[in-house]
Structure 1
Amino acid sequence: MATVIDDMAHSSLSKAVDLVLFDTKKRTRDQRTIWEAIRMRFLLLREWWHVLQPAKVTIAHIHTCSGLSFFLDSLYMMLARIRGVPAALHIHGAKFDEFFDGLSWPGKRVVRFLANRASRVIVLSGEWERALREQFPKARFAVIENGVSQAPLIDVKKDSSVITVLFLGNLCHRKGVMDLISSARDLPPYVRIVLVGGEEEPGMTEKVKRFLEQESLEERVLLAGPATGIEKFRWLRSADIFALPSYAEGVPISMLEALAVGLPAVVTPVGGIPSVLTDKEHALFVQPGDRAALVSAITRLANDENLRRTLGETARAHVMENFGVERSASKYLQVYRELKPRLADRGLPL
């Protein structure tokens, strides 16, 4: 979500409306007590209440995901509605459907109530809209795909004797990390996998390290850690193939960023990915958990430079034309104008 918000803050949207970013991330120490957490949440909500002055704030746009975060973020949405401010609830969670299905009957009623109270529920793809509309038929949906900005040009030195397969994202089972590193045993010896990202699941980094040691794969798989900004794009520019064998996704920004620099990709047709890409035209699709197919797709790209170039160039043109950050910015503005028609004429602040 942080990348999406940062991209919007630097897009033409920031010129069309007065964007004010309200930071809701944790502001207490890691070993905080429950009372410290409750107190800080109360202070944040009080600050939010004072920020929500209808004469100054035209729209509240709240980014959220699944789990406890959804309920906490919905408090901001409800306060906005009480204040008379239209509020958009923007769902990013790749497993929101599983989160909802796992709730008790009263929990589902609460989520439906919150979705119905939002002025708009924004989702990342038509697939997600169809899935959630079945659960929230009274909610007012809008589809805004994640957008990607133009990648900076960076000079990098590449070893022509090595094919680098890049994974970019938080380390977790959901993103198929264990499937990818397991495939290293069966890939050609000149193929190296690089994992760039922090942890989504606590302890995942250590689990990956132990697996690589047990399987003697330390020379085949590099655990690079998290990277942002220029360093992230340095990894993207130095790679030959992008791999994201996820079990659940929205429309992953990391995938769009990889395609925007012209990397050929091996991905799974989950979440909103099939609404963005076509198999064998923009990427190679493999089914989640199919390690043999994953090995086959990566090997095929590693052995065929022309295919890598053709797939990468086609995907790059497709993504920049249809999923650029400015296209997303125009959809944001369209939703804002629907919620507050005066924006179209007076350009009132957000």
Structure 2
Amino acid sequence: MKICIVTTMFPKFKGDYYGSFVFDEVKELAKKGFEIHVVTQHNPGIPYEETMDNIHIHRFRWLEPKTFRALVHFKGIMDTFRMVTYVISLFLNLIRIVRKYKIQIIHAHSVIPTGFIASMVSKIMNKPLFTTAHGMDINNFENQRIFNYFISVTLNSSFKAIAVSEDLARKMKLMVNDETKVFVLRNGVDTSRFNPARNRSLRDNFGINDDDVLILFVGYLDKFKGIFELINAFYEINGENKNVKLMMVGVGPRKGELVNILTGLDINNEVIFTGRVEPQKIHKFYQAADIFTLPSYTEGLPVSVLEAMACELPVVATTVGGVPEIITDGLNGFLVSPKNEKDLIKKLVALVNNENLRKEFGKNSLEKLNENSMTLQKKIELLIGFYRDVH
């Protein structure tokens, strides 16, 4: 079966973390014998065409910025013009790829812009469309009528509309004529790599002692991820307990601001910024940590939380998106309201001061992950079943 994946989120090179969850999924499909073609935007310094792990990647030309930026962060007249060139080029190139390689199924990751363009191409080329909503593509446009129209058209044009959480599915069902085409297929984690093995060597590399409690954050360093609330919470926690460290894995536009704040608070030596970490190595950071936290303002179903659960970590996260579906407050972690620093401090302190509670929550995290089949292997099995429903 020949499948064309249309996405804005895909690694720019082998080892790039951006869009790695899409890459992991299609790599597994390629291993199962599917012929996979990925259509995505070009970025500076990388090939327009290449094959990576038996995945055929086609990157189209557009008015790209000189340095990479995720499309969700575009703003202003110039970026609007870039988006116009993006959708036109995507439309033309998607038709070309579908025709040239005799594609049988189009699968768009994100409802807009990729899903909407893919819906037009699917009608023109008479190919079934699958669309996966990941969260921001629905949540960011809830009160914008024109975008809701585009979303509705995309979902109604889809053979199956896939949501990564029950929360997203509920919203999507309000925008389709036939609710039976909306399915929940949660993100999955590769448990062959993400497991409870303890990584002491990485702790040693960063000067973290055995009796230190390491709080881990993995994500984009921007305001909507709750990073400023996390820094303020850590300052309070560190004032009471000097054996607590914070590690922030990832890159983003607010790192400079974070460093300035930490310097002003005189705790910059207690916070570790790792920068970009290759997907093949990211599991080691979870395995070196004691607590995972993600105080975001908005999410779909964050892969980082699943990865933490697979590594038997207790989780402190916010009550957004599908997070409450995988974190049960008081069972395998704690849930707090977005921007609620006081509650974030309280819940983190409870885990910092109680090793037995950390172990109990961590064990429950792994059990919950397995009980709900939130593994990559199970996800691929279900996805293949969806594809086969076409015939």
- TM-score after normalising by structure 2: 0.77
Q: Which has the higher contact order (CA 8 A, sep 6+)?
A: 1
Identify the residue that residue 118 of structure 1 maps to in structure 2. 158
> What is the rounded CA distance, in whole Å, between the counterparts of 2:177 and 2:224 in structure 1?
28
Match of 1:347? none
SS in 1 for 2:38: coil
Distance in 1 between the 2:288 and 2:177 partners? 46
Return the offset for 1:62: 0.8
Say which SS state the counterpart of residue 200 (structure 2) adopts. coil
Query: 2-side partners of 1:207 and 1:287: how far apart?
Result: 23
Aligned with 1:156 (options 185, 189, 200): 200
**Counterparts of 1:40 and 1:266 in 2: how far apart (Å)?**
38
Contact 1:262 1:316 in 2 (8 A): yes
Contact in 1 for aligned 2:198/2:287 (Cα 8 Å): yes
The alpha-carbon distance between structure 1 residues 294 and 257, as it changes in their structure 2 partners (threshold 3 A), is same
What RMSD in Å do the two structures reach over aligned CA positions? 2.6
- Are the equivalent residues in 2 in contact too, given 1:266–1:285 (CA < 8 A)? yes
From 232, 256, 259, give the equivalent of 1:209: 259
* 2:176 corresponds to: 136
Instruction: Give the alignment partner of residue 333 of structure 2, picking from 276, 280, 283.
Output: 283
2:235 matches 1:190: no
Counterpart AA for 2:385: Q
Superposed displacement of residue 107, structure 1:
4.0
**1:223 aligns to what SS in structure 2?**
strand
Alpha-carbon distance between aligned partners in 2 of 1:14 and 1:73, rounded to the nearest angstrom:
22
Is the alpha carbon distance of 1:30 and 1:84 closer, same or farther for their aligned partners in structure 2, counting shifts above 3 Å? same
Instruction: Output one character per residue of 1:294-317: Cα deviation in whole Å (capped at 9) or x when no partner.
Output: 111111111111111111112112
Aligned residue for 2:274, secondary structure, equals: strand
CA contact (8 A) 1:63 1:92 kept: yes
| Alpha-carbon distance in 1 for matches of 2:236, 2:220 | 24
- How do 1:1-350 and structure 2 match up within 5 A? 2-11=19-28, 13-27=29-43, 30-31=65-66, 42-53=88-99, 56-64=102-110, 70-94=112-136, 96-101=138-143, 103=144, 105-138=145-178, 140-150=181-191, 151=193, 155-157=199-201, 158=203, 159-187=209-237, 188-199=241-252, 203-321=253-371, 322-338=373-389, 340-341=390-391
Number of aligned positions between the proteins: 330
Q: Which moved more, 1:88-97 or 1:189-198?
A: 88-97
In structure 1, C-alpha distance between the alignment counterparts of 2:250 and 2:198, rounded to whole Å: 20
- Could you tell me which amino acid in structure 1 is paired with residue 157 of structure 2? R
Unaligned runs of 5+ in 2: 1-8, 10-18, 45-63, 68-77, 204-208
Cα deviation, residue 98, structure 1:
3.4
Compared CA separation, residues 42 and 337, structure 1 to 2 (3 A): same
Distance apart, 1:72 and its partner CA: 4.5
Give the deviation of 1:134 after TM superposition.
Answer: 2.0
Query: What TM-score results when the alignment is normalised by the length of structure 1?
Result: 0.85
2: CA distance between counterparts of 1:256 and 1:110?
Answer: 30
Local SS of the residue matching 1:247: coil
Read off the aligned partner of 2:20 and give its amino acid letter: T
- Once the two structures are TM-superposed, the CA of residue 132 in structure 1 deviates from its matched residue by 2.4
Q: Secondary structure at the match of 1:135?
A: coil
Aligned partners of 2:131, 2:291: CA distance in 1, in Å?
35
Q: Is the 8 A contact 1:9 1:19 kept in 2?
A: no
Runs of at least 5 residues in structure 1 that lack an aligned partner in the other structure:
342-350
Bigger drift between 267-276 and 54-63 goes to 54-63
The alpha carbon displacement at 1:81 in A equals 2.5
